[in-house]
Structure 1
Amino acid sequence: MTNSEMPHRATAYWTTAKEQGELRSEDLPAPEPGEAVVRALYSGISRGTEMVVHRGAVPPRVADEMRAPHQEGDFPGPVKFGYLSVGVVEEGPDEWKGQRVFCLSPHQDRYVVPVAALTRIPDGVPSQRAVLTGTVETAVNALWEAEPKLGDRVAVVGAGLVGGMVAALLRTFPLQRLQLVDIDPGRKKLADTIGVDFTSPEDALDDCDIVIHCSASQEGLERSLQLVGDDGDVIEMSWYADRKVTVPLGEDFHARRLSIRASQVGMVARSRRHRRTNADRLDLAVSLLADSVFDAFLTGQSAFEDLPDVVQGLSDGSLEALCHVIEYPQDSGRHPENPA
C-alpha cells in the first residue's frame, strides 16, 4: 500500500460511560463527491447539553430527537457527541478549499462531512468566536418563537451561556425594558459587559410581555410565571433531561391565563419554518458574531489533549465557564486566523 492509499487517521472525544470520556483514534474515510475534509481549529463545549450527555441523563424517550447532527453511537454511550466545531476545509470541492467553516460536528481533529453541512465564516468573525455559532442559532430561534415587539417589557431568567446570549441579541431591539435575572450576583459582570440591566429574582420587575426562561431550574420557571403579565408567554429554553420539575399551575399560570411555550433548536421556529431553512438560520447566526461583545462568553481555553479532564471539571463544578474553547494542534506555518 502506497502512502497515498494509507487511510487517514483522526482523533475524537467519546463519552464512554456515565461521567467517563476519552480520546480515541479512528480511520478517517476518504471524502465522496460533495463531501469535504475539515481540519478542526477550535470547538466549544455546550455546558448544558454536553453535561447531560456526560452524566448519562438523556431520557430514553427522546434519545432519537436529541441526537446531534453528526453523532456516532447511542445514548447513554459510548457516544461521540458535540456540535460547536470550527475548522478549515483541507479537501473537497475547489470553491470550499481553504475556507474557514462552522459545523455541527463532535469534538474531533479532522472529519468528513457533506459540504451542505458547512457554514462559511465571514472574514470579520474570528475563529474562536465562531464556535458560538450554534448557541447564537439557539438564541435566534428562541427570539423567532417569542417575537418581541416595539416597546415590550422582557425578562430573561438565567444568565448562563444561553440566557446571556439571548439578552445580548435582545439589547439591540427597541424594547421598553430588558432585564437579565439570575441568583448569582457574579453574573452582573457579564450583564455589564454586554450592556444589559441585571437584577436578582426577588428584585426583578413584573408585568412583562415576554419572559424567556433559561435557568433549567424549578425555581426559575416558577419565578418566570410570576414575572410575566396576564395572558403572557413564558418561552422555555431549558432542557431538564431526566430531572422532574414541579410547577405551581394552580397559582399564576391558571389564574392569569399564562402560556409556557418550548423553544428547541432542532427545528426552525414555527413562525419562520416555511420561509427559513436551518442553513439560513446558521448563516444569520454566524454573521451576528461580527459583534465583539460576544467575546464575553468565551471564558476559558484548553488543549484538545486535555478535553477529557475539562469535561469532567465542568461536570463536577471544579471548572467554571460559560463557553470553554478547545484548541486543536495546528500545522506548522498556519495561523488559525489565516489557515489557508
Structure 2
Amino acid sequence: MAVSASANTSALWYRGPKQVELRQEVIPPPGAGEVRVKTLYSAISRGTESLVFDGRVPVGEFHRMRAPFMAGDFPFPVKYGYAAVGQIENGSNSLRGKTVFALYPHQTAFNIPAGAAVTLPEDVPPLRAVLAANMETALNGVWDAAPGPADRIAVVGAGVVGSLVAYLCGRIAGTDVTLVDINSSRAELAGQLGVGFAEAGNAKADCDLVVHASGSPDGLRTALELAGDEATVLEMSWYGDAAVTAMLGGPFHSRRLRLVSSQVGHIAPSHRPRWTHGRRLAAAIALLNDPRLDALLAPAVAFGDLPERLPGILDAGSGILCQPIIYS
C-alpha cells in the first residue's frame, strides 16, 4: 500500500557545541516524485561530524559544508549527516520495497526525491552500504591523484577515507601501496584490505604518489617526506578552522613536489565532462561489493542511544573507524 499520510519521525540534531538531542518531527505525505524511506542504518562520518559537533565549521564554509538534505543552519542547531540506508515504503511498483542509499541525516524515516535514492546492488549488503559516501570521497580522490600501474604509493592516515583510498589503489596492477599511521594496530586492517602497513618514520620513501588523509599537520609533514622528486602529494584532510603548518621550505621547491587538494563537492576534473554526481555515487556503491570492507565497520549502536554514545564515538581516542547506527 502506498504511503499517503503524515508520519512521526525522530531525528538527531546538533544543538550546540558538544550537545546533541533527538527531536520528534512530523513529515508530510510524500509529494509528487518523492518516496518515503524507512531507515535501516546510517553512519557517523567521524571527521566531518566531529567538526560539526565541536562547532568548528568556519564561517566562510557554512554554505559549502551544507549536506544535501540537512536542516537548520551552521553553527547550530543543525540536522546533519549523509550516510543513510533504508527501504522505500511507497512509490511505483518498481521502487517499493527496494533498499536504497541516500545522502540524508540520521532520522528514522524521511521523504526524498526518487532520483536521490540509489538502489543497492544485490551484492552490497545494507550495513556495508553506509560506507557509500566515504567510498565516493575516496573514489574522487583517486581520480584526482591519478595513480598508475606499478606505482609506489603511500597513504598517510588509516581512517576510513585513507583506508578506502589505499584499498582502491591496491587494486591497480603492480602497485606497491603502504598505509601509514601512528597507530600500529592499523596493520591488521591494512592486511585485511590487501595493502602494506608502516608506522610513520618507517615507511618507504621516494614514492610516486602520496595521499594524505590523517587530518593532522604531522601527517602532512610525513606525506611530504615520503614523496619522491616531482611526485604529487594529494591532500584529502580537511582541518575546519584549525591553522596548519607545512614544511614548504627545505627541499620542497628543489624537488619540485606538487601539493594538490581534493574535495568531493566537485567531480575530479579528469572525469567532470562525462560524469554526474549520481553516476559517481552509484559507482561508489558498486565498489562496496567486497566483504573485506566490513573491517572498517564498528559494531552498530542503536539510534535511540546516540545522544549518550556520540561524544565517545567522536572522541579522537576511540579507535572507531566507521560507526554504524541501527534503527528498529
Q: Name 1:191's counterpart in structure 2.
A: 190
Moved more, 58-67 or 254-263: 254-263
SS in structure 1 at match of 2:118: strand
Root-mean-square deviation over aligned CA pairs = 1.3
Task: Return 5+ residue gaps in structure 1 as ranges.
Answer: 330-340
Q: Percent identity?
A: 45
Q: Does structure 1 retain, via aligned residues, the 8 Å contact 2:41–2:126?
A: yes
Q: Name 1:30's counterpart in structure 2.
A: 29
Q: Name 1:18's counterpart in structure 2.
A: 17
Matches within 5 A, 1:1-340: 7-317=6-316, 319-329=318-328
1:290 Cα deviation after fit: 1.1
SS in structure 1 at match of 2:222: helix
Distance 1:114 1:145 in 2: 30
Distance 1:255 1:216 in 2: 26
Q: Does structure 2 retain, via aligned residues, the 8 Å contact 1:188–1:198?
A: yes
* TM-score, normalised by the number of residues in structure 1: 0.93
Aligned residues: 326
1:271 Cα deviation after fit: 0.5
Distance 1:10 1:111 in 2: 8
Q: Does structure 1 retain, via aligned residues, the 8 Å contact 2:5–2:29?
A: no
Deviations 1:177-205 (A, max 9, x none): 11110111111111111121100111111
SS in structure 1 at match of 2:250: helix
Distance 2:57 2:4 in 1: 40
1:319 Cα deviation after fit: 3.9
SS in structure 2 at match of 1:127: coil
Question: In the alignment, residue 91 of structure 2 is paired with which amino acid?
Answer: G
Q: Does structure 2 retain, via aligned residues, the 8 Å contact 1:41–1:88?
A: yes
Distance 1:6 1:158 in 2: 47
Question: In the alignment, residue 126 of structure 2 is paired with which amino acid?
Answer: S
1:9 Cα deviation after fit: 1.0
Question: In the alignment, residue 305 of structure 2 is paired with which amino acid?
Answer: D
Task: Return 5+ residue gaps in structure 2 as ranges.
Answer: none
Distance 1:24 1:309 in 2: 14
Deviations 1:257-312 (A, max 9, x none): 11111111111111100111111111111111111111000112111101112221
Deviations 1:4-52 (A, max 9, x none): 9863111100000000000000110211111110000000111100111
1:318 Cα deviation after fit: 6.5
Q: Name 1:337's counterpart in structure 2.
A: none
Distance 2:230 2:316 in 1: 38
- Give the direction of change, closer, same or farther, for the CA distance of 1:251–1:93 in structure 2 (3 Å limit): farther
Distance 1:164 1:186 in 2: 13
SS in structure 1 at match of 2:64: coil
Distance 1:307 1:176 in 2: 40
SS in structure 2 at match of 1:254: coil
Distance 2:242 2:211 in 1: 20
SS in structure 1 at match of 2:249: helix
Question: In the alignment, residue 209 of structure 1 is paired with which amino acid?
Answer: D
Question: In the alignment, residue 13 of structure 2 is paired with which amino acid?
Answer: W
Deviations 1:117-175 (A, max 9, x none): 11110111111001011111111000110111121111000011111111111121113
Distance 1:6 1:291 in 2: 39
Distance 2:251 2:51 in 1: 30
Distance 1:65 1:51 in 2: 17
* TM-score, normalised by the number of residues in structure 2: 0.97
